């Protein structure tokens, strides 16, 4: 029996669980350990993501983390889209959210994960490559003009569902379920950046290329945002 013949009630929870576990792989920690670097949770913002890994001064580690986090988002959705199941339209949106939640709340890091920017990009690239590139272009443009990585991420998250809906019938065909999943991911990403939003309003958010933050120490009550 292959996946295409499994009842939805059986296949769906399996697909969602596997997507979540894949999303839970903490590439920031994995790459740092492989390269003999400090645990990214022990300095900077304490966030296990590519931006904080970059604060270690190792650009290769940051690049590998970025690629790993994006790849797991892409892989989960790409595999779900190729299950060949008649209800794939139900499975894919849930897998999109599951792999993203895995990165945000990874079981392997006691549910304290990253902000999900790279993973969200991977998800979008799997759904529609041009949509992913449009979101990436938005990030690059906003980051270039403002020098705020967090603001660029928020802008890309907000515009991705908008691009998807406005591209209907022109660049691709839309599915309301996929649009809903993208909207859920955007809301979650903005939520994870809430502390950044507060700093942006206060004018204390660090800029790209700015002075490196001093070593930090996440506490039990500290936010991973």
Q: What is the pLDDT of residues 139-191, one digit of tens each?
A: 999 999 999 999 999 999 999 999 999 998 777 889 999 999 999 999 999 99
194: three-class secondary structure by DSSP: helix
Cα–Cα dist 49/144, whole Å: 20
Q: What is the pLDDT of residues 191-204, one digit of tens each?
A: 999 999 999 999 99
Least confident of 14-28, 101-115, 173-187, 206-220: 206-220
| More confident position, 59 or 46 | 59
pTM for this one?
Answer: 0.90
pLDDT at residue 218, as a whole number: 43
What does the block give as tokens for 84?
């060949």
Q: Where are the domains of the chain?
A: 3-202
pLDDT at residue 45, as a whole number: 80
- Alpha helices of 44-193 — where are they, by DSSP H? 50-54, 59-81, 88-104, 117-127, 129-146, 149-166, 176-192
Q: How many helices (H) and strands (E) does the chain have?
A: 10, 0
pLDDT at residue 221, as a whole number: 40
């Amino acid at each position: 029996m292959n996946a295409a013949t499994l009842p939805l009630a059986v296949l769906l929870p399996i697909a969602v669980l596997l997507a979540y576990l894949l999303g839970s792989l903490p590439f920031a920690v994995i790459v740092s350990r492989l390269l003999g670097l400090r645990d990214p949770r022990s300095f900077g913002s304490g966030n296990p993501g590519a931006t904080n890994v970059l604060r270690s001064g190792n650009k290769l580690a940051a690049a590998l983390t970025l690629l790993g986090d994006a790849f797991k988002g892409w892989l989960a959705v790409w595999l779900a889209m190729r299950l060949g199941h008649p209800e794939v339209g139900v499975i894919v949106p849930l897998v999109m959210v599951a792999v993203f939640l895995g990165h945000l709340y990874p079981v392997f890091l006691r549910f304290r994960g990253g902000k999900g920017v790279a993973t969200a990009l991977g998800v979008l690239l799997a759904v529609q490559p041009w949509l992913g590139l449009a979101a990436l272009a938005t990030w690059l443009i906003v980051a270039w003009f403002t020098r705020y990585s967090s603001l660029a991420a928020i802008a890309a998250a907000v515009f991705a569902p908008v691009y998807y809906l406005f591209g209907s019938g022109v660049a691709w065909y839309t599915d309301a379920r996929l649009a809903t999943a993208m909207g859920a991911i955007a809301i979650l990403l903005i939520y994870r950046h809430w502390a950044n939003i507060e700093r942006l309003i206060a004018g204390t958010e660090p800029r790209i290329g700015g002075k490196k933050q001093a070593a930090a120490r996440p506490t039990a009550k500290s936010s991973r945002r």
